[in-house]
Amino acid sequence: MKRKSAYKEICKLTFAAAAIGAFSAPAVEAVEIKDVLDSYVEATVLPTYSQMSDSAIEFNKAVAKLKESASDENLAKAAAAWSKVRTSWERSEAFLFGPAVFASLDPNLDSWPLDQSQLDGLIKAINEGRVAIDAGYVRGGLGAAFRGFHAAEYLLFREGKVRKAAEMSKGELEYLAALAQVLTEDCVALESWWKGADKLSEGKSKILEEAEIETGGSYASEMKNAGKVGSRYGSQKEALSEIFDGCIDIADELAESKLGTPAKTQNPLECESRHSGTSLIDAVDNLISIRNSYEGANSEGASLSALVAEKSKEADGRVRASIDGAIKSVESLKAPMFKNLKENEEGFKVAIAACEKLSEALGKAKELVCE
């Protein structure tokens, strides 16, 4: 009887201690969807687009200097400036929805593949004086395939290397200058669509004014106020779903197209950013865009990752590990991709499978918090 009594007392004390601990332990604050949306917009999207338009302005200046003085040094500086803008763009590919779509900024900035023969024909016409090229002509008279990152890339690079200034014709320099100006205007417009025209710097506002480009509203505000009047998102979960879908879309594109197509065809012409030789850099930046969107860039706690972890730490860990695994698998491929398709044959299989695994992990995470 004494042993039973002692056992009962121990149980009572253990239960009491557990109860006291439960009541005295600090409460874990739930992650609010509103905070996740705010953090996503303010810490990930807006800084990326702001950096992109800042870099585009510098690129435009570098090209103007190249046009004025066509030296190898100035050409190298213009190419480096292009690469910097390109990095920001590739790191935005997980959120190519909203203004990038309805304002046609995605196709205007990043149409690929280029029709090289038509581009060469246009350059010949400029050199022969049959076409007077300027930014207005590019914006109003040329389709998306003649402008944006890849048209500029074609003029700056060949076979993965920066061209020599002596190789560039007067028409190419004029065309590049016009392209750089329009690319800059489009980058500033994309920032304006998200941020709101009233929140642009004076210098950027002037760029849009001189190009006669008008943007409307603030997509950032619409996303942060999802479910309220004035937002195209009917609910906060609808906005969350858009973010997940953006991440899933670029993971799928990597697996199926950016890596998958050249791996399957073994055709160098299928490699995007072939002229600059930066196909694999683009792919890593795309995965970084997913990581920034999911884990948050410079945010404190309010992220998709934190939201998923509340439902399932295992699911969150699976997404994080899949992102890291996909990045490592792409980084292990031999660059430049267009010159090493055969050598990367086995590596492609690993990288493609890693991107597919990431897409699947993101899809399951989405189900946990959006349905």
**Does residue 105 contact residue 191 with C-beta atoms inside 8 Å?**
no
At residue 201, φ and ψ (nearest 5 deg) are -65, 160
181: three-class secondary structure by DSSP: helix
Please name the helix (run of DSSP H) or strand (run of DSSP E) that holds residue 161, with its range, or none. strand 161-162
Secondary structure letter of residue 256 according to DSSP: I
Q: What is the C-alpha to C-alpha distance for residues 264 and 256, in angstroms, rounded to an integer?
A: 10
At residue 26, φ and ψ (nearest 5 deg) are -65, 140
List helix spans (H) across 196-235.
Answer: 202-210, 219-224
**Does residue 115 contact residue 147 with C-beta atoms inside 8 Å?**
no
Please name the helix (run of DSSP H) or strand (run of DSSP E) that holds residue 162, with its range, or none. strand 161-162
- For each of the domains in the chain, give its residue range(s) and CATH number, in order of start: 47-216 (1.20.1420.20), 235-371 (1.20.1420.20)
**Does residue 37 contact residue 236 with C-beta atoms inside 8 Å?**
yes
Residue-level pLDDT at 220? 98
Q: What is the C-alpha to C-alpha distance for residues 286 and 253, in angstroms, rounded to an integer?
A: 10
Average pLDDT per 10 consecutive residues for the chain, totaling 371 residues: 39 40 46 95 97 98 98 98 98 98 97 91 97 96 94 97 97 98 98 97 98 96 97 97 98 98 97 97 98 85 93 98 98 98 98 98 97 85
Strand partners, 158: 161
Secondary structure letter of residue 233 according to DSSP: -
Residue-level pLDDT at 233? 98
**Alpha carbon of residue 311 to chain centroid:** 27
User: Which residue, 275, 51, 330, is CA-closest to 162?
Assistant: 275
Beta strands in 22-145 (DSSP E): none
Q: What is the CA radius of gyration of the chain?
A: 25
Residue-level pLDDT at 29? 59
Residue-level pLDDT at 16? 41
Residue-level pLDDT at 371? 85
**Does residue 333 contact residue 284 with C-beta atoms inside 8 Å?**
no
Q: What is the C-alpha to C-alpha distance for residues 294 and 248, in angstroms, rounded to an integer?
A: 11
Q: What is the C-alpha to C-alpha distance for residues 164 and 73, in angstroms, rounded to an integer?
A: 9
158: three-class secondary structure by DSSP: strand
* Residue 300 to residues 122, 140, 247, Cα–Cα distance (Å): 50, 44, 20
Burial of residue 294 (CB within 10 Å: 0-12, 13-18, 19+) is buried
User: Which residue, 255, 272, 277, is CA-closest to 158?
Assistant: 277
**Does residue 115 contact residue 149 with C-beta atoms inside 8 Å?**
no
Maximum distance among all alpha carbons in the chain? Answer: 110
Q: What is the C-alpha to C-alpha distance for residues 22 and 64, in angstroms, rounded to an integer?
A: 67
SS (H, E, C) 274-303: CCCCCHHHHHHHHHHHHHHHHHCCCCCCCC
Q: What is the C-alpha to C-alpha distance for residues 234 and 236, in angstroms, rounded to an integer?
A: 7
**Tokens 């799928």 belong to residue:** 252
